[in-house]
Amino acid sequence: MKNKIQAFLVIGALSVLNITAQETEEIVVTASFVSSETNGALHVVDGDDIDTAANLSLGEAIDDLLGVSSADYGSAIGQPIIRGMSGTRVKVLDNGLVNRDVSALGPDHPNDTDLNNIQQIEVIKGPASLLYANGGIGGVINIVDNTISKVDFDKPSFKLGLESQSVNDGESQNFSFTDNIGGLNIVFSHKNAEFGNFDIPSDAIMHEEEEHHDEEEEHHDEEEEHHDDAGFLANSDYELESTSIGISKTGDWGYFGISAKSLENMYGIPFHGDGHGHDEHGDEHGEEEEHGEEEEHEGERIFATTDSDKLDLRGSLNIDGSIFSSVDYFIRDTDYELVEQHAEEEEHHDEDEEHDEHGHEEGPTTFTNEATEFGYTFNLADTSLFSQKLSFNFAEEESSVIGSESFMDPATSEETTVGYYISGDYGLFKLDAGFRIDNVDRKGSITTHEEHHDEEEHHDEEEEHHDEEEEHHDEEETEHVHYNRDFDNRSFAISLSRDLNESLSLEIGTSVVERAPSVTELFMNGPHLATQRFEVGNTNLDVETARNVEFTLRYANEGVYASFTAFQNDIDDYIYLQDESEEEHADHDEEHEEGHDDHEGLTLANFLQESAEFRGYELEIGRVYDLGSGLLDIRYARDELTASFDDGHDVPRITPARNLYSLSYSKGSMLFKLLLKDVDKQDEIGEGETSTDGYQMLNARLTKTFDLGNSNLSVSIFGNNLLDEVARNHSSYVKSEVPLPGKNYGVKFNLNF
């Protein structure tokens, strides 16, 4: 390992020694396998658009794109969904490299991303995602910035940003600086943000516990009156601090740079399962439990802190040889930590004997992920037929979950990749194709418990619960069963495009992509409160194989534009989490008729495999009118998806169909945008799911840029959910407890000089 890292450092040093300063063209990552042209699989969100919008998460920033949505868990969590798939099936990249965080370990974990000082967000769907990461069956989200600049800055630039929001009394400040000093490109950026609990519509208040605790009806009536007055979602606060710095050198020889990024945040978790959680209005059920009085206090809540450090070294060396024209190289080291804990943990530690009412140990849970990744991409000399790339990547990753919610033993992964990609323009059609081989090695263990106590005697002495718990643990033996799963994945993709005439073009793509099971799917074995389940992994899982085909028609002529994409993704051995049935639950209760529950009061869920079919379409129609005084753009779009298993049952938590109505008007330095998102009711649900009502979300934004001579000031006034709609995200595990925010007004200032 050390020798490989040293080799990268040697190449970097050789690059720096070639000091001839010369500007080069910036290479922008696109959906095309090799060429610099974009195709229909790519959506780009411009950095200026992000700067003027009110987005707290990556999912929020791209939720309005066709085929893309967000799985929320409160304001800070917005894991992206592409065509019904999320988690490890959607790769989130930072400048082309996979983010190595712990978002795949739980829906209440954020992606390790920061939307400050970025150039653009690229969303890549379908076959084109093969280029960037293994196992991206759903697609790829690539966040692009200039922390390591590939071009020389011609003048210093300073940017200051301020933001204020009404829905959460939130505010943020950010600034960035770029300049070329002594031939070195310097980039520095910093951001602070603090957002309180967000308001929710009064109709969003739910009291599910009333159905189960009739004897507390009077108590709930009082709580309802109190929370109607409050009107906010408890534990939905969010704080963030991020810093990044980069230094690079460019020349006709290529470029070389190094960057460091640090991201820290703290966010409340609005709901965290039975016994730990808090519904959207606090702890309404607390008095019904043994420790209820403690849970009613606002000071006791579940929150999480994250601490991420990334160190990047990357560059490109121009060779201009007969075989290779250039070689790109990189190395990245990531150290990520997330800690979940009780705010009043220390105060109540002694009273609770380190156990809550369901037997969970009180105390923090620490999720860590340490990763090192490096690779080369050789750009082969162009031929008369096509351009070529040959890439080699290696990644090593160590994950652990330590603490009260230790649902997975420490696990390691090693990934080795060889990829070959070609692109050519043959007049009649354009070709993009790629092939990659991924070797994935997962190592982990499953902890088993053997109990040696008398169940009947244990429950007869219920009044001495804590003493018996202590005795129980003394008499419990644990055994770690170790596993080593090795997967050899082979994937390929091909895309053909053709201009049928001056206005109409056609693209056809197909791919076969294999995805190895994640460490979570293999080795999970314990209480996962974010999903309200006791999750059990499956060490016998096979590789997922996704066979995707899609075609796109695009039309553009005299201000009219339209596109239509249809796709089908057949996935063999699709991995999913299946809750136990009512019959299985009843059988389980009979086995523990004395009251002992080794699943700790949570729903038992197992990782299973069954072939599934995803199919859908994305439609867009628009017209641009030149009004003389400005341009008016009116657009309608719709995306719709169905997903079902071979046995006919629906895949759970699938995004419902949506209609998007948008209007934008631009005149000089002024831009006005209006968007109505009409989300259908979702009643095509998986086993154990409930249907979700549709909603309409109306957002508006007005941006004006003022010329101040050597500087300019951009002012953006926005309003989100102007109809104050009760909106619940069907893809969320906590849709009932955690609605989307209510009406929100705000303003953003960006000063550039």
Distance of CA 406 to the CA centre of its chain: 22
pLDDT of residue 582: 59
Backbone angles phi, psi at 99, to 5 degrees: -70, 125
Residues in a beta bridge with 196:
none
- Which amino acid would we find at residue 534? F
In the numeric block, which tokens belong to residue 28? Answer: 């922008």
In the numeric block, which tokens belong to residue 741? Answer: 């925010």
Of 112, 104, 139, 135, the C-alpha closest to 519 is: 104
Collapsing DSSP to helix, strand or coil, 470 comes out as helix
Of 429, 468, 435, 434, the C-alpha closest to 451 is: 468
End-to-end CA distance of the chain: 45
Sign of CA dihedral 729, 733, 737, 740: negative
Rounded to whole angstroms, the Cα distance separating 271 from 209 reads: 14
Q: Which residue has the tokens 């354009």?
A: 430
pLDDT of residue 206: 60
Rounded to whole angstroms, the Cα distance separating 740 from 281 reads: 14
Sign of CA dihedral 573, 576, 582, 587: positive
In the numeric block, which tokens belong to residue 405? Answer: 């919610």
Query: Taking a C-beta distance cutoff of 8 angstroms, is the pair 344, 299 a contact?
Result: yes
pLDDT of residue 227: 40
Of 448, 593, 417, 577, the C-alpha closest to 525 is: 448
Q: Which long-range contacts (CB under 8 A, 24 or more apart) does 216-224 make?
A: 216/287, 216/288, 219/287, 220/284, 223/281, 223/282, 223/284
Query: Taking a C-beta distance cutoff of 8 angstroms, is the pair 716, 702 a contact?
Result: yes
In the numeric block, which tokens belong to residue 613? Answer: 């079919």
Q: How far is CA 140 from CA 32, 89, 471, in A?
A: 13, 9, 50
Sequence-ordered list of residues with C-beta below 8 angstroms from that of 222, at least 6 positions apart, any chain? none
Of 45, 259, 51, 28, the C-alpha closest to 159 is: 51
DSSP state of 273: S
The CA dihedral of 248, 252, 254, 258, to the nearest 10 degrees, is -10
DSSP state of 628: S
Going across the sheet that includes 120-125, the strands are: 42-46, 120-125, 139-144, 90-94, 97-98
Rounded to whole angstroms, the Cα distance separating 192 from 747 reads: 16
Our CA angle for 368, 370, 371, nearest 5°, is 145
Q: How far is CA 112 from CA 52, 100, 117, 429, 572, in A?
A: 21, 8, 15, 39, 30
Sort strands 631-645 and 544-557 into parallel, antiparallel or unpaired: unpaired
Sequence-ordered list of residues with C-beta below 8 angstroms from that of 693, at least 6 positions apart, any chain? 681, 726, 728
Rounded to whole angstroms, the Cα distance separating 61 from 76 reads: 12
DSSP state of 197: P
Rounded to whole angstroms, the Cα distance separating 138 from 80 reads: 10
Our CA angle for 704, 707, 711, nearest 5°, is 115
Positions of the chain with pLDDT lower than 70, given as ranges: 1-41, 205-230, 272-300, 343-362, 449-477, 581-600
pLDDT of residue 600: 62
Query: Taking a C-beta distance cutoff of 8 angstroms, is the pair 291, 352 a contact?
Result: yes
Query: Taking a C-beta distance cutoff of 8 angstroms, is the pair 86, 59 a contact?
Result: no
pLDDT of residue 673: 96
Q: Which residue has the tokens 């006709």?
A: 252
Rg of the Cα atoms in the chain:
27
